[in-house]
Structure 1
Amino acid sequence: MSDPRWDDKQLKVGTMARAALWLLQVVGEGNAFTKEQLRIAFPGVSQADRRVRDLRDYGWVLDTSVSDATLARDEQRFVRRGVDVWVPSLRRAVEFDSGTVSNKEREAVFAANGYQCVSCGIAGGEAYPDRPSETAVLAVSRRTMELLSGRSERVLVPECKRCKSGTATRTYSIPEVRALLEDLAAEDLRRIRRWALKGVRGTTSLDRAWNGLRTLPANERRKLLDLFD
């Protein structure tokens, strides 16, 4: 089923839902837009920019100049779509489960997890390796955690905006992680235990050698590696 048109006058939805459709059908994922373009699209709607910001609560990813240095101050980038907010049942499902997280709870969740995303491990404020101009912004998500007992419960976890986007049904499984740990060799298990105690992954001699090697020009890499043939 195709999405409704954003400018369909018969569509009975609010500004946020209509703005989401406008982003999809006019701006397009990966493209930037300005507040002026938003004002032209929604004349007479004084809170259109706020309704666009509200989309982040539904998994929509929108960058500003704070997180993307390539953007001007009056620009935003539509990175990725989230929940189809023009579908009442999908929107209500997110609103029912989102709850309110206090600043104290949010800070406690961040601190307990080393201010890192539990999905990809990036720290808040750290640049993404594949996009150095974009820095990670952390948020708190409510996720389902499968326990060793077989039961599930809802927990608060920190996730970066990339991992949080469009994944309202993501679950975390302790039994799956246990199975991964059981497959490790004894030395690897000791290493990951040390990482867990420190709250951060350490680097191996292989990691350090590769990081050093990749700083060299390609021809110098080849010449250096030829010495070890």
Structure 2
Amino acid sequence: MTLPAWDAPELKAGTMVRGALWLIQVVGEGHTFTKEQIRSAFPGISQADRRIRDLRDYGWVVFTNADDATLMAEDQRFVKAGVPVWDPAARRAAAPQKAISNKEKQAVMARDDYMCSICGVSGGEAYVDDSNQTAVLSITRRETVLPDGQERILLVTECKRCRAGSDDRPARADETVADIKALDPNDRRRLLRWIERGRRGSTALDRAWNNYRRLPADARDEVRTTLEG
């Protein structure tokens, strides 16, 4: 398998993944590196050295002078590569996880207003496009890249249908910030208002359509007859 270049602009990965590739492609097993080299390799990324230390949770061996007395205080040695964290499936399989407690599940559902964080359907609610199917909510782990490049596993409320349709890619808060900053000032202000309200603004047409779709089928027929009459 050909590894992606650690500094490739098209590589959609967080600092931990890029750091792993940097260790392999630049430092090399058995060789030493310093925090200053990390800062030079990942300029503007806060706690890049911590993201590299996180690789230890995936079987990567990196020594400091606490592990190897021959090292200077500022030196670290890349001893051995572990799980190929650039492979999403391998990273997920090896990620240290603990069971989600009932208390955590209730707190996450309350935070998400007991709605799917992707489609917005509530638990037990029928889907608009399939009234024979009702939503079942659960709490799932979502691999997420934060705006500073830090990678974390976060808990979200998802319905069964959205969870089944999800792919292996992490949620990208860093790309979301970049997309928002690229908006023109008026659109950015409008989006910030939606964020503050916790919901998207809607037009009168949107509200009329949504209200119509919520009606039982017989009532929708009556509405059409009235409007066509």
- The bucket for the TM-score relative to the shorter chain is 0.3 to 0.5
Structure ID, larger Rg = 2
TM-score (norm 1): 0.47
TM-score (norm 2): 0.47
